[in-house]
């Protein structure tokens, strides 16, 4: 089969001919139809410090996918050949206290497909049947291929009750934009999204009904005043990994405001603790998706009118992956989807 591999410990990915994976008794074999390119894949492409520390070479990369089950392991029940599916890319252990309590997304033994284990940028993927998420007709393959990052957005946005709340999202990357769409879908009052990249803010406004703010040009306090907020935002969703954005968020929140942090800063990032203490702010770190509650809620919302399709701005054949990575690296795209058929 054709696959995209990190074949050498240097920047880039290479198209290779790889054997179709053999499955174990509890696995399924999935024929991949579409995959999404993630920020994580860009780190792996760039071969930055994190990637060098984390990713074994050689490795087939990629973890955002949709496809169809073509083979079932001997012990697999409840799934069928021909079933369209996506799946959770975090492979969890069964030993930790968290796993045994059903809080799978908090398992410290987690390993990621396309990061630590063979990934989804390939014609076929082996996946434990446990990780498979069947797709209803309402979720086609290209949306199926972005459920992983949509799940990050949903997990973050649903951390707090947003009904009637004023929500600040810092970072209009694909995940920030999808979080804005989710916040609107579940009934937030005002949703403001910030960035310093005008192309990203334009895209945000095309995907959903948000107030885009370029913080390089406009002061958030003026925006809050214009929207008639008395004290500030009730909830903050940090989706940039940028220090200045987090500082600005803490400043813009009401007393007792709540923050969910998804964005990953590049290194140690100083925090003004006293502001957080005196404003009695709640902070919650977000990792991945809740397995499988986030998947359940996200698919239910997609079936009920949540529309994030316009966040996909580019589509390429898998063999044209270089173009896809180039546009992702430019910061001028939303989600980029590769077609494997």
Per-residue tokens: 12 = 């880039």
Residues in contact with 45: Cβ distance below 8 Å, sequence separation at least 6, in sequence order:
11, 12, 13, 325, 329
Ranked by CB distance to ligand NAD, the top (closest) residue is 173
132 scored as a contact of ligand NAD (CB under 6 A)? no
Site for ligand NAD in 94-123 (CB under 6 A): none
Out of 5, 88, 107, 148, the residue judged to bind Zn ion by CB under 5 A: 148
Q: Which is nearer to ligand NAD, 28 or 178 (CB)?
A: 178
CB 325 within 8 A of CB 42: yes
| Cα–Cα distance measured from residue 321 to residue 74, given in angstroms and rounded to the nearest whole number | 35
61 is catalytic: no
Cα–chain-centroid distance for residue 210?
A: 19
110 is catalytic: no
> Least Å distance between CB 136 and ligand NAD?
24
**Among ligand NAD, Zn ion, none, what does residue 62 contact (CB within 5–8 Å per kind)?**
none
Site for Zn ion in 50-69 (CB under 5 A): 64
Report helix, strand or coil for 253: strand
Per-residue tokens: 47 = 């071969």
Q: Which of 244, 280, 236 is nearest to 262 (CA)?
A: 236
242 scored as a contact of ligand NAD (CB under 6 A)? yes
Out of 162, 237, 239, 249, the residue judged to bind ligand NAD by CB under 6 A: 239
Q: Which positions from 5 to 44 touch Zn ion by CB under 5 A, shown as an x/- string?
A: ---------------------------------x------
Q: Which is nearer to Zn ion, 47 or 121 (CB)?
A: 121
Residues in contact with 267: Cβ distance below 8 Å, sequence separation at least 6, in sequence order:
none
**Mapped to the 3 state alphabet, what secondary structure does 109-135 carry?**
CCEEECCCECCCCECEEEEEHHHEEEC
286 scored as a contact of ligand NAD (CB under 6 A)? yes
Q: Which is nearer to ligand NAD, 29 or 172 (CB)?
A: 172
Q: Left if phi > 0, otherwise alpha if psi is -120 to 50, otherwise beta: which for 331? A: left
Residue 341: CB atoms within 10 Å: 12
CB 30 within 8 A of CB 87: yes
Out of 152, 159, 252, 313, the residue judged to bind ligand NAD by CB under 6 A: 152
Catalytic residue set = 40, 43
Contact footprint for ligand NAD (CB under 6 A): 39, 152, 170-176, 194-197, 200, 215, 239-242, 244-245, 262-264, 286-288
């Amino acid at each position: 089969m054709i696959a995209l591999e990190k074949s050498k410990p240097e920047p880039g990915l290479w198209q290779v001919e790889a054997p179709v994976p053999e499955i174990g008794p509890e696995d399924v074999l999935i024929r991949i139809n579409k995959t999404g390119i993630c920020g994580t894949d860009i780190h792996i492409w760039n071969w930055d410090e994190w990637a060098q520390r984390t990713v074994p070479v050689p490795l087939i990369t990629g973890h955002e996918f949709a496809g169809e089950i073509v083979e079932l392991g001997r012990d697999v029940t409840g799934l069928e050949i021909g079933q369209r599916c996506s799946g959770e890319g975090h492979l969890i252990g069964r030993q930790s206290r968290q796993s045994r309590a059903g809080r799978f997304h908090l398992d410290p033994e987690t390993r990621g497909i396309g990061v630590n284990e063979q990934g989804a940028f390939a014609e076929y993927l082996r996946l434990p049947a446990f990780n498979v998420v069947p797709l209803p007709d309402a979720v086609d393959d290209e949306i199926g291929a972005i459920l992983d990052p949509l799940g990050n957005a949903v997990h973050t946005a649903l951390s707090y009750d947003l009904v009637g709340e004023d929500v600040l999202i810092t970072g209009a990357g694909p995940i920030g934009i999808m979080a804005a769409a989710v916040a609107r879908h579940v009934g937030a009052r005002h949703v403001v999204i910030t960035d310093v990249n005008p192309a990203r803010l334009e895209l945000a406004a095309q995907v959903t009904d948000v107030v885009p703010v370029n913080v390089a040009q406009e002061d958030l306090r003026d925006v809050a005043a214009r929207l008639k907020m008395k004290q500030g935002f009730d909830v903050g969703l940090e989706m940039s990994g940028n220090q200045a954005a987090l500082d600005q968020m803490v400043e813009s929140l009401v007393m007792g405001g709540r923050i969910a942090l998804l964005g990953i800063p590049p290194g140690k990032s100083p925090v003004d603790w006293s502001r957080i203490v005196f404003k009695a702010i709640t902070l919650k770190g977000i990792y991945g998706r809740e397995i499988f509650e986030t998947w359940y809620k996200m698919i239910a919302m997609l079936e009920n009118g949540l529309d994030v399709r316009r966040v996909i701005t580019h589509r390429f054949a898998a063999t044209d992956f270089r173009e896809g990575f180039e546009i992702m690296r430019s910061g001028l795209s939303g989600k980029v989807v590769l077609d494997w058929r």
